[in-house]
Amino acid sequence: MKLWIGDIQKAVAKECRYFKDMSKDNITIITKAYLKQLKIDHINVMPHKQTLESNAKRVNFFIENENRT
């Protein structure tokens, strides 16, 4: 099974909304936890060039636009 980084970012956005904490540090912690668990479960994440800064911006985009989709 393969996942795109965008799928992970959408899941992180939902978790951030649940915890009501959209800070860059929290986004980074949750994203790293997801990636670590996926690696343990032998699920491949498609290659990406996301940095911590761009990841936080994209997750915040999903948080702001979650109600529209």
Residue 13 CB neighbour total at 10 angstroms = 22
DSSP state of 45: E
From first to last of the 69 residues of the chain, give the pLDDT tens digit: 789 999 999 999 999 999 999 999 999 999 999 999 999 999 999 988 888 889 999 999 999 987 665
Determine the structural domain holding residue 48 and report its residue range.
Answer: 2-68
- What's this model's pTM, rounded to 2 decimal places? 0.85
Name the residue type at position 32.
Answer: K
Number of folded domains that form the chain: 1
